[in-house]
A = this chain, B = another copy of it.
């Protein structure tokens, strides 16, 4: 079963699973998961949320790491480059990838009430986009697909 933010799940297990996948994925590519990078990923994994770079930085600083923006941005950029995190343009923020290692071009579903961010399988969306672009002669290389709305939990009056 996939990590799935919108429903009850054992979050500890969910995070651990992602961390393991992340480690495996990195080992395969020869990149190093240094303490700062690992810690940043853990911080992102604490919630199914997007966090701003400065929020992450504050956490790092409190734990004795550097307290200047590049410390956070470098780790975040590393995670994004290696597919362990995503940048959410709409929020100027970052979220842990819930499916590291798998090739995927996700769409992000952002709940405007609880700020939860989920990844939806976007292959069909991407196909539609590629088609629309092709009609205009445009070749899509990278796409950001981000939706703002209501997650199941916030939709129903609990």
Contact = CB atoms under 8 A, between A and B. Distances in A.
Main secondary structure of the interface of A (DSSP, over half): mixed
Contact of A150 (B135, B141, B143): B141
A69 to B, nearest CB: 17
A140 interface: yes
Contacts of A107: 129, 132-133
Contacts of A149: 133, 138-142
Number of copies: 2
B125 A129 contact: yes
A104 to B, nearest CB: 12
A133 B152 CA distance: 10
B129 A145 contact: yes
